Amino acid sequence: MLRFRILARDGDARRGLIETAHGSLETPGFFAVATRAALKGLDTESARRAGVQALICNSYHLAVQPGPELVAAAGGLHRFMGWPGVLATDSGGFQVFSLQHGQVADELKGRRRLPPIEDPLAAVRVDEEGAVFRSWLDGSMHRFTPENNMELQRALGADLVFCLDECTPFHVPRQYTEAATERNLRWARRCLEAFSGGAQALFGIVHGGVYPDLRRRSAAGIAELGFDGFGIGDCLGETKLDWYGVVDLVRPLLPDDRPRHLLGVGEPDDLVEGALRGIDTFDCAMPTRLARHGQALHMGRPRFRIDLARSARRGEDGPLEEGCDCHTCARFSRAYLAHLLRAREALSVPLLAEHNLRFTARLLERVREAISAGRLRDLRTEVLAAA
């Protein structure tokens, strides 16, 4: 079950609302990454307090531990992790194939040949049927196919699910990218055929790497299949300008009445640039990852960051960011947070994570308001000037 309504437009940008069985997500919106059914360093109630509207979990990791049977027996991911809001799962394809792509890179550099699947040392192998991979937890072998991946995500019970796909990295040759793009399209058809629907919505994913003709071919094929929404994934290039070009190329080829999700992107300037290009939702582990490394998001700092361990202003009594309404900034000073980091106190992580997620939520609130006011380009100028 998914309903998408567009409420306002500003050029290619649109403000909207995604409605699911577990509530609504205002767009442009953000999925905070809860890989193993948990945000890194933050509980779900604190996440809601920070303005997080939606979470995305990883099917690969949850298949390995604790297993879909346990999650299903607990009533699905929402109940299992105590999250009442919008929830997505990705297929886990990126994690599966990142193992293989390390092997491909080695082969291209002439270090060693890829072992056959019978080789017990092989980490992962892909064929038309799917992918065989080794568990990071106990070394056991598993197979993902489009069909059993849809069954896995059905058991997990998220509102939005993504097709099984291979995400190719930048270093593979065009021939490899083309073969993977065509196979991903065939897998997408199989995912759609196996998808049970009901309360869930299925997103297809556009591939093609950095090759415009492959991107067009993939976008046209995925759009024709009629998914509930569309992800833009695969290798987006080496620079921000590269992924801007990919999105500009793909967006006109996708149905205007369906939500568009940009996979794995979430830096502050990326959120504004993506929204300008018609992206509705994003996901990225960046806010919580920065917190684990002692960094706070801040409008106006180099690259939107304060490194509390190194900042010359770490002894200041003021909040991380003036005007921030998060729980951390309301109660704790920059000096105290820097002390927690220097003392290696675990409390620093949830406090910084809540601030970083609130920063992201506040920025997207401004993006949505700017779209309604027809001034998103003015906001982009303001954000880029601050960085």
Q: CB atoms < 10 A from the CB of 373, how many? A: 12
d(CA 89, CA 358): 22
> Which of 159, 165, 270, 283 is the catalytic position?
283
Q: Are 112 and 106 in contact (CB under 8 A)?
A: yes
d(CA 183, CA 119): 24
The letter for the amino acid at 327 is H
* Local structure of residue 252 (DSSP, 8 states): G
Name the residue among 248, 31, 329, 327 with its Cα closest to residue 160. 31
Q: CB atoms < 10 A from the CB of 120, how many? A: 9
d(CA 337, CA 174): 48
User: CA angle 104-108-112, nearest 5°?
Assistant: 75
The letter for the amino acid at 171 is H
The letter for the amino acid at 276 is L
Q: Are 71 and 157 in contact (CB under 8 A)?
A: yes
Active site includes 270? no
Active site includes 138? no
d(CA 68, CA 153): 8
> Which of 90, 159, 234, 270 is the catalytic position?
90
φ, ψ for residue 349, nearest 5 deg: -65, -55
Q: Are 158 and 21 in contact (CB under 8 A)?
A: no
Q: CB atoms < 10 A from the CB of 386, how many? A: 13
d(CA 99, CA 194): 26
d(CA 383, CA 274): 13
d(CA 35, CA 69): 18
d(CA 190, CA 146): 6
Query: Which residues 6+ apart lie within 8 Å of 70 measured at CB?
Result: none
Active site residues: 90, 283
